[in-house]
Structure 1
Amino acid sequence: MTSSIQKLTLNPQRLFSADKQVSNIAVELYQKIKNLPIVSPHGHTDPSWFNENKNFKNATDLLIRPDHYVFRMLYSQGIDLDTLGIPQHGEKGDLSIYRRADPEKIWQLLADHYFLFAGTPSGYWLDETFSKVFGFTEKLCSANAMQYYREINRQLALPEFTPLALMDKFNIELIATTEGALDSLSHHSAIADSKWAKRVITSFRPDDVVDASREDFVDNLKKLADLTGENTQDWRGYLNAIRKRRQYFIQNGRATATDHGHPTALTADLPENECQALLNKCLAGQSSEQEQELFRGQMLTELAGMSIEDGLVMQIHPGAHRNHNVQIFDYFGRDKGCDIPSQTEYVNALKPLLSKYGNHPDLKIILFTLDETTYSRELAPLAGHYPSLKLGPAWWFHDSPAGMLRFRQQTTETAGFYNTVGFNDDTRAFLSIPARHDVARRVDCRYLAELVSNHQITLVEAHTLAYQLTYGLVKKAYNLS
């Protein structure tokens, strides 16, 4: 742990392998695709940024507070989230803590502990952001923290650092935000008649109205009824209400995809009378954890049927034990970095849904995992057979250089490349998007270069695949072409 200032340098051949032959091929592949537009089809950036197009306030509010990768690491070393000024949105929370927090002191804390990020994806992303976006030539540390803070703030106030200007600077062709089923989509609606309508879209995430374990589930179904005019205590009325919200997202947010963050991949196909009985128990607050899980599983199957009807691509993100730290959840609310990957089974869990809809030509499901042990055993064989299934990229805890490489190594031989969908950054940290996509491009070029070097594919095939993994497959998978 030293505060001495080091040079901040980005080796042009980083992540390309220490093997010179592989590295040379990777460089050739990368040169052809490095400047392709960024397509970000799934993420959690704030839609107000693009509608209001206001300059970001300061380095802390932009680079620390929205990024649970960053404050999670700091918290793991004993730095309280209230010290970092993270807003307390939980039932016991106090929002005044956010208002009282000093952003300069928070930035100094990051700099004092920046050594913690060595070897982590956040370390790569932050270093690249500091170097390429802001032009720093010294690595962040205690000694230069305030120099960093003042210079970042100076640049953030410039016209070329508004969100829409950064969209052009970063060569982001399209970015998708993610909103809950009850969201008004006011920011998306506000840009509907502008040139940005085709570049900033939403995704429909109905967890707030399909997860009966949520503390706000009953209230949310009342709100859903008010929004749609449907009786959400009736099974058919409830499904019709969700259909109407999907259409609202298509019409007002240009949505092309849905997103489902369920604890497991369980699906079900129950008779209608059993569905109604299950809904009744959930609304009455009398459902067990197992019944709540069954309800979510039934809804995944119902939502797959809706995707066939309206064409929205279905993203399933299972396997996270959400809000594992109860105290953090109580005070700070959801999505504060205390989610933990959990063991996840897919073959039996998905069978009810796939038995009903898996062979339908109009269904597109993109399947993610936080359980890497399932790559070769379950996910690649499933995607390598069912025409409705594609594999999403290495996600969340695994969107690292090593994690991305493991994904390719364990899925390609069974599923191939064309049953995957390119890369998505899944981030709230807007300035890290170019760095995250660059890491994915470099790792894919490395993997392709290894196949060429081993005479498994030709260089011509590798160039085609590099383009597809960077740009072609994501456009096709998310119906963006």
Structure 2
Amino acid sequence: MHANPRANSAGRHPDALLPAEPTQRRIARELYEQVAGLPIVSPHGHVPPELLAENRPFNNPAELFITPDHYVTRLLHAHGVPLADLGVGAEALSDAQARQSWRILCEKWALFAGTPMKYWLEDVLLNVFEVEEVPSAANAELLFDHIDERLRDRAYLPRALVESFHIETLATTDDPLSELEHHAALRDDASFGTDVIPTLRIEGFIDPAQPKWQANVTALLDRTGGDDTVESYLTAIADRRRHFAEHGAVSIDCALVDARTAVLPTARLAELYASARRSALTPAEADEFRAGMLGELARQSQEDGLVLTLHVGALRNYDGPVHRRFGPDRGADIPLTTPFAEGLRPLLNEFGHDPAFHLVLFTLDETAWAREIAPLAGFYPSVYAGAPWWFLDEPEAILRYRSAVTGAIGFGKQSGFIDDTRALCSIPSRHDMARRLDAAFLSKLVSEHRLSADEAASIIRQITYELPRATFRLAHFGH
């Protein structure tokens, strides 16, 4: 097997994802070359911090490429492959289990044609592991052994890979009760140059419909020593926010079904909280409490500067048996049509004009981009249009996003690319895809004389590097 940085037999080409029209392709190529080598800023993702803190070798190719990546396992499952056969849910795979999982991926490789997963996987195989062959049943064992051998090399330890990927900032997603000891260890290690920062994932602590809400709130109050009142509850959340900010956090993330918000009087919030703790809320009251807690999160963000990101519009853990057997985040999430304007109105009427408050809106409903998210971001100083997210981060959707929101808000109120991945080795591939597609989008505007070449060169650097830093206030926090 030999390295080839330009193309492989699976179809990689130096002009991949750039326009077919010759004039636009030339412009896009020049734009892409200006940002191809820029550092990666990843302000939202799911790589486990302990992976980097412990810096142990990856166990095998299956646990690197397959089991952490629900994009991969979801599609294979859709074609009849049991998740258990892929190793999903197993704490660790035996050699036999890992080889079976890898063999299935290779045998089913053709199923990924036309998907972004194929692009990412090919890119990692070629540019990280120097694999040119197209995976197949015939070469599955050979490829497994080749990659497995590479994983024993110190150059393939997690931290070495992160540094080779030129990742400047990598945000993780963390339980509010975490002591963030892995982040502290990474921060204190002067030999590691990447800034690994936590993100507080809050919905399990503000939504009474979450199955562990009662236990989470009890643990939260125990941690801070407060009594069981709404005042102690809100103070405990603020305390955890401070703890995260002290460890470098710049944002707090909330993943909910919808974007309903409310700014409730303290007395009403206290009444709802007391009922919630007795498990006595009606469904409508549970919705009101969750909406009121989003208003409280915005108020606290206005005070402490943490960016509030909303990931809404997914019916999570849709398949009950899969959720019960394998747990959350196994690919059985379904997009929903999601309104924003009415739901966010109370919050934005209260906090939307404060430029110190940043609210980034993500959705799986792309019809909302032009209809509601762009108009909101085009009026409120606080609102930013979040980049395409799972189900919407294939090339065509990324281009549709740029087209849907740019006319209303330009580029300065877009979030920058979000890779949102658990698969460490795919991070540079995903960002490279975004940079190529942004070059393609801008090349059209240049070729139509809507932008000058100099303007496009400035913009592509902005949306690649400067926008995610500004949106997530990384400079404000000294990162």
TM-score tier (shorter): over 0.9
Aligned-residue sequence identity (percent) comes to 40
SS at match of 1:179: coil
Code of the residue aligned with 2:216 in structure 1: it is N
Question: What is residue 184 of structure 2 aligned with on the other side?
Answer: 189
Following the alignment from structure 1 to structure 2, what is the Cα–Cα distance between the partners of residues 223 and 10? 50
Matches within 5 A, 1:302-313: 302-313=296-307
Cα RMSD (Å): 1.5
SS at match of 2:85: coil
Code of the residue aligned with 2:432 in structure 1: it is D
Q: Does 1:227 align with 2:223?
A: yes
Code of the residue aligned with 1:437 in structure 2: it is H
Q: Does 1:452 align with 2:454?
A: no
Aligned with 2:112 (options 91, 114, 117): 117
Q: Deviations over 1:24-83 (max 9, x none)?
A: 100010111100000111100010111111111110011100000000111111111111
Code of the residue aligned with 1:479 in structure 2: it is R
Aligned with 1:152 (options 143, 147, 151): 147
Q: Deviations over 1:99-138 (max 9, x none)?
A: 6971101110111111111111111100111111111111
Whether contact under 8 Å (2:369, 2:401) holds in the other structure is: yes
Following the alignment from structure 2 to structure 1, what is the Cα–Cα distance between the partners of residues 284 and 129? 50
Question: What is residue 218 of structure 1 aligned with on the other side?
Answer: 214
Following the alignment from structure 1 to structure 2, what is the Cα–Cα distance between the partners of residues 269 and 99? 52
Following the alignment from structure 2 to structure 1, what is the Cα–Cα distance between the partners of residues 116 and 67? 17
TM-score under structure 2 length normalisation: 0.95
Aligned with 2:16 (options 14, 17, 22): 14
C-alpha displacement of 1:386? 0.2
C-alpha displacement of 1:302? 0.5
Following the alignment from structure 1 to structure 2, what is the Cα–Cα distance between the partners of residues 81 and 454? 48
Matches within 5 A, 1:15-414: 15-87=17-89, 102-195=97-190, 196=192, 199-231=195-227, 233-251=228-246, 253-414=247-408
Aligned with 2:472 (options 465, 478, 481): 478
Question: What is residue 433 of structure 1 aligned with on the other side?
Answer: 427
Following the alignment from structure 1 to structure 2, what is the Cα–Cα distance between the partners of residues 475 and 212? 33
Question: What is residue 416 of structure 1 aligned with on the other side?
Answer: 410
Following the alignment from structure 2 to structure 1, what is the Cα–Cα distance between the partners of residues 35 and 105? 34
Following the alignment from structure 1 to structure 2, what is the Cα–Cα distance between the partners of residues 465 and 64? 35
Structure 1 residues 180 and 197: CA distance shift in structure 2, 3 A: farther
SS at match of 2:187: coil
C-alpha displacement of 1:314? 1.1
Number of corresponding residues = 467
Whether contact under 8 Å (2:170, 2:194) holds in the other structure is: no
Following the alignment from structure 1 to structure 2, what is the Cα–Cα distance between the partners of residues 287 and 127? 50
Q: Deviations over 1:128-180 (max 9, x none)?
A: 11111111111111111111111111111111111111111111111010102
C-alpha displacement of 1:23? 0.7
SS at match of 1:469: helix
SS at match of 2:83: coil
**Where does the alignment leave 5 or more consecutive residues of structure 2 unmatched?**
1-7
C-alpha displacement of 1:211? 1.7
Following the alignment from structure 2 to structure 1, what is the Cα–Cα distance between the partners of residues 402 and 427? 21
Whether contact under 8 Å (1:21, 1:453) holds in the other structure is: yes
Structure 1 residues 48 and 190: CA distance shift in structure 2, 3 A: same
**Where does the alignment leave 5 or more consecutive residues of structure 1 unmatched?**
1-5, 89-94
